[in-house]
């Protein structure tokens, strides 16, 4: 059995509260019939009632065990009303969905951890664009190259694993793929930082203006200890 087949076989399935409750009810009924054999109609009524109650409790508890939730990049983002931004976010989420599907077929914990990091950064990028739709044009490189190339590389990795390709060259290729993912993650992080560049400049400008006004009001020593007037005051 190949690693891919093992990974598919061992993939976690969503826990069903109904199935858990049904199994619990059946076991309870069987145990009750052993301890208290069914001789009269009343025995059946009590046994079935207890079994149903046990099944209900287990099913209710099982609902709390299902902690599955969408990946960060797959969480719903409200539409902005900006066609370009909404299309970019939708296409980006679709690409990340395909990337996660490929990653699920690759039994490599190191690579999976890297893809989780990429997913988190991508989610922040999508949400930033939702908050600032005018930033959408800055993501052309991300959408046209970074994410599609990541998907293509993962597909190649998955095919090697599916066909059980072995040897030093295959190992070197896998190592190269993992290193390439580090480059992609860093590039996406820089892309995210670039989206906030205007905000950073605006904040810096606002602080400069605020400091100038405070100095004019003669309050620099109390508001900006690091300013020249504050330093002069401290020397007295």
Rounded CA-CA distance 207/202 in Å is: 9
Rounded CA-CA distance 173/165 in Å is: 11
Secondary element (H or E) of residue 164: none
Are 21 and 52 a contacting pair, CB within 8 Å?
no
- Say which residue the tokens 């006004």 belong to: 213
Q: How many residues does the chain have?
A: 236
Distances (CA, A) of 48 to 54, 68, 74: 10, 32, 43
Over the stretch 123-168, which tens digit does the pLDDT of each residue have?
Answer: 999 999 898 898 888 888 889 988 999 999 889 888 887 788 788 8
Over the stretch 19-51, which tens digit does the pLDDT of each residue have?
Answer: 777 887 788 778 877 877 777 787 777 878 877
Which structural domains are found in the chain, ordered by start?
3-65 (no CATH), 72-195 (1.20.5), 200-235 (no CATH)
Tokens of 122: 């991508």
């Amino acid at each position: 059995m190949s690693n891919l087949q093992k990974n598919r076989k061992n993939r976690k399935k969503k826990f069903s509260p109904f199935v858990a409750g049904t199994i619990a009810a059946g076991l309870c009924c069987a145990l009750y019939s052993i301890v208290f054999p069914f001789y009269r109609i009343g025995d059946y009524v009590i046994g079935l009632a207890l079994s149903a109650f046990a099944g209900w409790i287990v099913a209710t508890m099982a609902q709390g065990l299902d902690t599955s939730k969408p990946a960060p990049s797959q969480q719903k983002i409200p539409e902005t009303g900006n066609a370009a931004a909404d299309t970019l976010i939708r296409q980006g989420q679709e690409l990340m969905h395909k990337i996660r599907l490929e990653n699920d077929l690759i039994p490599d914990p190191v690579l999976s951890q890297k893809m989780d990091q990429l997913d988190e950064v991508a989610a922040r990028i999508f949400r930033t664009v939702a908050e600032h739709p005018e930033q959408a044009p800055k993501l052309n490189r991300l959408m046209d190259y970074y994410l599609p190339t990541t998907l293509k590389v993962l597909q190649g990795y998955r095919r090697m694993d599916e066909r059980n390709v072995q040897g030093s060259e295959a190992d070197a290729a896998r190592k190269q793929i993992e290193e390439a993912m580090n480059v992609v993650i860093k590039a996406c992080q820089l892309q995210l930082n670039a989206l906030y560049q205007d905000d950073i400049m605006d904040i810096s400008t606002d602080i400069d203006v605020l400091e100038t006004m405070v100095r004019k009001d003669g309050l620099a020593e109390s508001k900006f200890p690091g300013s020249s007037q504050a330093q002069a005051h401290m020397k007295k």
